[in-house]
Structure 1
Amino acid sequence: MTRPFSAVLTSALLMATPAFSFDINNMNRAETEAFGAEVRAYLMENPQVIMDAVNTLEERQAAAQAQSDVDMVAVNAKDIFEDPTSWVGGNLDGDITLVEFTDYRCGYCRKAVADVEKLIKTDGNIRFIIKEFPILGEASVASSRFAIAVRILHGDDAYKNAHDALIAHKGGVGDASLTKIARKLDLEAAPLLEKMNSDEVTQVIADNHALAQRLQISGTPTFVLEDRMLRGYVPFDGMQQLVAEARKD
């Protein structure tokens, strides 16, 4: 259980001032009030102590989260990096693998598309995996179902075209709009509309949601870069720097 900040602060102050030899838990009311006044006076004169404590706490929490992410990725590595139901592009023999959990109705996922494509193109040595992770309602689910159906029936190239069309689509999502997208991609709509509601497609989405739960992913976009998790949108320059750091590890 996390200790209250006041308790942490009190402990720190006592350790910093060995002259205090009394038991703080057994002070009477007057002693408690006096001690509280001394602590308050000290903090008013040295407010940076509070910021230093907060910064240290945040650094420790970030380090703990990073290690937890590394552990979760290691445990789930096969499902993250070797899942046969997920589209794989970029350099298939790349020395770095980047995985994206995405939702077609997510504004930041749409924003990330150009940055990710630029990263993959300019780097030339990144293997890129897309995980269908619809979490923003029925339109998201229908879009993912359609994309997965396209891959099952027509392969990886057709899937990428469908993915790009869906991520750019701004209207409603239903049989009519999906039929229109299929026609633009020179695909027959009827078999896709039937396949998208199949148990096979449902299982892919269910497996991705189960994997996301194990990885404590609750939002999109979320990226897995080797053994590191990036929760949220990362601009091109930031992603490029993270890839460089991953190569050094």
Structure 2
Amino acid sequence: MKAVLTAALLTATALPALAFDPANMTEAETEAFGAAVREYLMANPEVLVESIAVLEERRAVDDAKNDRLLVENNHEAIFEDGYSWVGGNPEGDITLVEFIDYRCGVCKSVYPTLEKLIREDGNIRFVLKEFPILTQESDMASRFAVAVQQEAGPDAYKKAHDALMESRGPVNLESLGKLAGTLGVDSKAVLNRMNTEEVSTVIRQNHQLAERMRIMGTPTFIIEGEMLRGVPPDGLEGVIRKVREAKQG
């Protein structure tokens, strides 16, 4: 295609092939060249579409390489931070990490499918990263979830997480107090803990990690060395399958 375009441009500008040097063209030759390019692209718009597609493909490949490097450089903070909730199969053959915001519509919509995938697969280690970025309610919800974990342990945290993901109502001290009672945890202790430095440290460290990873939206997934900025059109199953195949050599 490139050869055809070059030949067409040389013909249109009446320049001998051996003499074609854009840097040394006269003003008249430059104008003729520009006119020839425009004429060719107007007559063959598919060339421009093809070029854009190739450029986007190359950019996607470069972005994926950069993301894998970011994962490698932040491996411990992503997979073994010591404070994030770990579920699914803790001994699973692959680890799936999700950065979440409880007011994120996409996070809520993918939640049932994700839960089903982890349950039915049975061999996925699942890590949740509290990453409130959308609203003040996002921050309150994440602080509540972290406070529940610190006060009552991982099982209570998962129940809080599930309830917050399934909730469509407002997030405030009243609703969170009622939720704490439903979960069977000490409502006063959890609400008092929400604004402590222990909880703030978790949220802050997750934000700092996200900044290093150039994560600016939720949900963001990390599956072993691959980072997915959003939900793939075909879901996570295909990515997980490819990751497993790659690990098996």
TM-score by length of 1: 0.90
SS of 1:238 mapped into structure 2: coil
Query: Which moved further from structure 2: 194-203 or 17-26?
Result: 17-26
Pairwise CA distance, 1:60: 0.4
CA distance in 1, matches of 2:206, 2:183: 26
- 1:219 is aligned to 217
- 1:95 is aligned to 93
1:177 partner amino acid: S
Residue 49 of structure 1: which of 47, 50, 56 is its match?
47
- Greater relative contact order (CA < 8 Å, ≥ 6 in sequence): 1
2:239 matches 1:242: yes
- 2:132 is aligned to 134
1:146-225 aligned at under 5 Å gives the runs 146-225=144-223
Maintained 8 Å contact 1:112/1:234:
no
1:26-65 aligned at under 5 Å gives the runs 26-65=24-63
CA offset digits 1:113-156 (Å, max 9, x no partner): 11111111111110000000000111000100000000011110
Query: Which moved further from structure 2: 53-62 or 30-39?
Result: 30-39
Which 4+ stretches in 1 moved above 3 angstroms? none
SS of 1:208 mapped into structure 2: helix
1:243 partner amino acid: I
1:222 partner amino acid: T
Pairwise CA distance, 1:174: 1.7
CA offset digits 1:1-50 (Å, max 9, x no partner): xxxxxxxx9xx848x96815343234332111111121122223322211
Maintained 8 Å contact 1:90/1:120:
yes
2:110 matches 1:112: yes
Number of residue pairs matched? 237
Pairwise CA distance, 1:84: 1.0
Report sequence identity in percent. 51
Superposition CA RMSD, Å: 1.8
CA distance in 2, matches of 1:57, 1:20: 29
SS of 1:173 mapped into structure 2: coil
